[in-house]
Chains A and B, each alone.
Chain A
Amino acid sequence: MKKKLRIALAGNANVGKSVIFNQLTGLHQHIGNWPGKTVTKAEGTLHFKGYEIDVIDLPGIYSLSTFSLEEIISREYIAFEKPDLVINVVDASVLERNLFFTLQLIELGTPMIIALNQIDIAQKKGIKIDYKKLSKILGVPVIPTIAIRGYGIYDLLAAAVKAIEEKTAYPSKIRYGKEIEGKIEKIAIMIREIGLPYPARWTAIKLLEGDKKIQEEVRKANPEILSFVQEMAREIEEIHGHPCSTVITSERYDVAGRIAREVQKIQPISRIPLSQRLHELTTSRVLGYPIMLCVVFSIFYGIFTFGDYTSTCIGDFLYSFEPLFDQAISNYVVKELIWNGVVEGIIAGVTIALPYIVPFYLILYVLEDSGYLSRIAFLMDVAMHKIGLHGKAFIPVMLAYGCNVPACLGCKIMETERERLLAAFVVTLIPCAATTVVVLGLVGKFVGIKWALTLYIIDLAIIFLLGRIAFKSLPGEPTELLMEMHEYRIPHLRTVLSQTWFRLEEFIKIAFPLIILSSVIIKAIELSGLFGLLSALMSPVTVEWLGLRREMGIALIFGILRKELTLIMLATILGTTNFGAVLTSLQMIIFSLITMLYIPCIATIAACVKEFGWKKAIFITVFEVLFAIFIGGIVFRILGYFGLP
């Protein structure tokens, strides 16, 4: 049997960690979420020198405190799962900030080696790093790499295995200032007696930093330690005049800065590098916005023309089998269930997933990886603040006007769980392209374009209002923009492709069963002749409260599958496409308004389930249905009062 090893990749965001992960594992990887969390978990396996090595890509973070879920996940993984080795990926072009994280890994006492990545980008900035000296100071192997070119990857792997075999991955002790170190030791002695799963020195440091999670655990074991820690913290605060956690962090940064200065030589560069010039151009006051608008508009246009075209092609192709199918199965009910239920469901899934989600994921990763996303966030921050989000949310919100599904999936670029949920909530309220078809096809055509626009304005106002309310009421800390804008770089195509592929796979696994199932259920209801009963049951809401015609409720049910089906079914049910002849203006307006608000379509719900789990997805769905009915009824009464027919 092969010997198994577990290696974790850890480091700051945007240091090329996922590229190294891809170079190591190739196609043998699995991307999912951490159990019960919205944080992506990437795992892969590789075989090397007789070992079977599991590689896990931990989220990119700057610290091991408890600000974000990612930080908690990472430190608990390292402390509890105890991987055989942590490869700390370090961005050579921003050494000081990256070493700050390295020091925290060292505190955790995990065996580790360092991949000194992006040495090419560092070189362009005129930075040269003596990696042998760095290795001597930290006491662990340091391997220089340029991950996107595959340079140093083999050496890294060989060094990793060798370090595990020879146990040379244990870093030297890095000490902070004397009087702090003395206090840490005093606390650590007490901690050793209570036997926590974390290393004693690390626990002591975290207590001084005021870490809530660790405080809880220590309180359970021996609350006296906490009052002792408080006393120590007070002494430190008195000496330095800053909060104790700030003093500790400063101490760490000072050490990181000292090491960085010792190992790196910075030469002035004669030419401003291209990435710097691009940065200045794309964030400039004059040209920043026009460039952004061009890029964003081309993305939007690109995705949706490509999507529309491919979607129609795939749809036509699949529908061309219908006659064949007709001949093969003679039983009407079976045929209806299989074709209109199962196959239609698959077609719906395929025509959404492939044409829209694939290019979207690709572009999202390219934007993120190249660094342009952070510049967009910088420019759009003020505008997005108005709905309680910050700059990064601009991309999902904008894309939602095309299709809610990829937009919802794209909410993962937000930093905290709270922001992801908030963004997803706003996104599901935005009218997608299919909804626009309904609004224009019904209200725009038969009531007037002015009314269609009014509906959009009402919808925007609602998004604005609900966004504010959700922003105020969601628990947790509202966060302002604080992000690194790393150097522009060329994205690694293979990494982008494989990330797209594995994410898509994950989505299909969740979405397809849901789409097919709901499609079959609706078909079954129709075949069993229960629609009459159902619309009668719904009539108190549809007829009394919303003033619609009774049959229109059925059309709304179909909208769960795809929003444009509300219009198609309406035509089928009413037996005409001349809606103006059979419906009042008010009915058409209310119907469109409900379609805009009432439910994320089943594929969007699936996307929410994938990102946030069943509970939150169902909550959002139920909330939006009730809310749409509520608003619909109110608008019906207001417009009725003003005498709209």
Chain B
Amino acid sequence: MAVPLSSLKEGESGIITSIKTNPAGRRGRSWGFIKRLVDMGLTPGTKITVVKSAPFRGPIEVSVRGSRLALGRGMARRIFVEINK
């Protein structure tokens, strides 16, 4: 079952299945939102690991494609991953 990336604990990893757009956002905006994420390598099928999350519900640090990214929590809520057991 796919869960939002934001629900993963530190050290857990999963495979990205989809990125949900903001339902309230206009079409043009959602294009930019998804494009920005996939351009950074968060494409469906990619393995992503949550390394750390900043305190006070801050951004999370993820490891993806051999590099380290900081990702806002709002974004992490819209990235859905399949946890591999």
Do B72 and A484 have beta carbons less than 8 Å apart?
no
Closest to B65 in A: A96
**Is A172 on the interface with B (CB-CB < 8 A)?**
no
Considering only residues 222-259 of chain A, those with a C-beta below 8 Å from chain B are: 242-243, 245-246, 249-250, 253, 257
B75 at the interface (CB under 8 A from A): yes
- The stretch from A149-157, A377-385, A579-587 touching chain B is A377-385
Bound Cα distance A63, B70 (Å): 17
Contact A285 B55 (CB under 8 A): yes
A96 → B minimal CB distance (Å): 5
A588 within 8 A of B: no
Q: How far is the CB of B11 from chain A (nearest CB, A)?
A: 13
B57 nearest CB neighbor, chain A only: A382
Q: Contact partner of B18 among A100, A242, A260, CB < 8 A?
A: A242
- Per a CB cutoff under 8 Å, which of B38, B71, B72 touches A250? B38
Contacts of A38 on B, CB cut-off 8 Å? none
**Complex-state Cα separation, A94 to B67, whole angstroms:** 6
B58 pairs with A62, CB closer than 8 A: no
Number of residue pairs A-B, CB distance < 8 angstroms: 115
Taking a contact as CB atoms under 8 Å apart, the answer to whether B61 and A253 are in contact is no
For B37, the chain A residues whose CB sits under 8 A away are 482
Interface string of A378-420 (1 = CB under 8 A from B): 1101110000001100000000000000000000000000000
Interface membership of A477, Cβ < 8 A: yes
Given A379-B54, A481-B70, A481-B72: A243 touches B34 (CB 8 Å cut-off) = yes
Residue B70 contacts which of A250, A260, A485 (CB distance < 8 angstroms)?
Answer: A485
Contacts of B52 in A (CB 8 A): 283
Bound: A480/B66 CA distance, A: 22
Interface size bucket, B side? 35 or more
Q: How far is the CA of A379 from the CA of B61 in the complex (A)?
A: 11
Q: Which residue of B lies closest to A390 (CB)?
A: B72
Chain B contacts with A in 50-85, Cβ cutoff 8 A: 52, 54-59, 61, 65-72, 74-75
Within 8 Å by CB of B43, from A65, A250, A391, lies: A250
Which listed residue, A242, A381, A484, touches B69 by the CB 8 Å rule?
A484
Taking CB atoms, residues of chain A closer than 8 Å to B66 are 94-97, 260
Tell me the complex Cα distance, A260–B66, Å.
11
Q: Which residues of B contact A94 (CB under 8 A)?
A: 66-67
Q: How far is the CA of A94 from the CA of B69 in the complex (A)?
A: 12
User: Which residues of chain A are near B41, meaning CB under 8 Å?
Assistant: 96-97, 100, 253
Instruction: Confirm or deny: A374 has a beta carbon within 8 angstroms of a beta carbon on chain B.
Output: yes
Which of B19, B58, B59, B68 has the most chain A CB atoms closer than 10 A to its own CB? B59
Whether B32 pairs with A67 at a CB distance below 8 angstroms is yes
Q: Does B7 sit within 8 A of A, measured CB to CB?
A: no
A482–B36 CB distance below 8 A = yes
**Does A253 lie within 8 Å of B43, measured CB to CB?**
yes
On whether A245 and B35 interact (CB within 8 A), knowing A481-B59, A485-B69, the answer reads yes
Instruction: Given A250-B45, A257-B65, A382-B57, decide whether A374 and B36 contact each other with a Cβ distance below 8 A.
Output: no
Cβ of A533 within 8 Å of any chain B Cβ, yes or no, is: no
Given A65-B39, A250-B44, A382-B58, A482 and B31 contact (CB-CB distance below 8 Å): no
Instruction: State whether the Cβ of A210 lies closer than 8 Å to any Cβ in chain B.
Output: yes
Contact A480 B39 (CB under 8 A): no
The number of residues on chain A lying at the interface, defined by a beta carbon within 8 Å of a beta carbon of chain B, is 43
Which residues of chain A from 100 to 138 have a CB within 8 Å of any chain B CB?
A: 100
A552 CA to B11 CA, complexed, in Å: 62
The reply to whether A381 and B34 contact each other, CB–CB distance below 8 Å, is no
Q: Using Cβ atoms and an 8 Å threshold, which residues of chain A touch B36? A: 67, 479, 482
Check: A483 CB closer than 8 A to any chain B CB.
Answer: yes
**Residues from 46 to 64 in A contacting B, C-beta threshold 8 Å:** 62-63
Interface string of A278-292 (1 = CB under 8 A from B): 010001010001000
Cβ-closest chain B residue relative to A379: B54
Which residue of B is nearest A260, CB measured?
B66
Query: What CA separation (Å) do A283 and B52 show in the bound complex?
Result: 9
Q: Are A485 and B61 in contact (CB under 8 A)?
A: yes
Q: Which residue of B lies closest to A478 (CB)?
A: B29
| Chain A residue contacts of B61, Cβ below 8 A | 283, 378, 485
Instruction: Confirm or deny: B2 has a beta carbon within 8 angstroms of a beta carbon on chain A.
Output: no
Q: Compute how far the CA of A161 lies from the CA of B1 in the bound complex, rounded to whole angstroms.
A: 55
B20 to chain A, nearest CB (A): 12
Chain A contacts for B44, CB-based, 8 A: 242, 246, 250
Contacts of A477 in B (CB 8 A): 29, 32-33
In the complex, are the beta carbons of B54 and A63 less than 8 A apart? no
Cα of A209 to Cα of B65 in the assembled complex, Å: 22
Q: Which residues of A contact B59 (CB under 8 A)?
A: 378, 381-382, 391, 481
* B contact residues around A245 at 8 Å (CB): 31, 34-35, 38
Which residues of chain B from 1 to 39 have any CB-CB distance to chain A below 8 Å in the complex? 18-19, 28-29, 31-39
What is the CB-to-nearest-CB distance from B42 to chain A, in angstroms, rounded to a whole number? 9
A242 / chain B contacts, CB cutoff of 8 Å: 18, 44
Which chain A residue has the least Cβ–Cβ distance from B71?
A482
User: Which A residues lie within 8 Å of B32 (CB)?
Assistant: 67, 477
| Chain B residue at minimal CB-CB distance from A276 | B68
- Return 29 A-B CB contacts under 8 Å, by A number: A62-B40, A65-B35, A67-B36, A94-B66, A96-B65, A210-B31, A210-B35, A245-B35, A246-B38, A249-B35, A249-B39, A249-B43, A250-B45, A253-B65, A279-B68, A378-B54, A382-B54, A382-B57, A391-B70, A477-B32, A479-B36, A480-B71, A482-B37, A482-B40, A482-B71, A482-B75, A483-B70, A484-B68, A486-B68
Instruction: State the 5 A-B residue pairs at the shortest beta-carbon distance, nearest first.
Output: A480-B72, A250-B43, A63-B39, A382-B58, A481-B72
Residues in chain B within 8 A of chain A (CB atoms)? 18-19, 28-29, 31-41, 43-46, 52, 54-59, 61, 65-72, 74-75
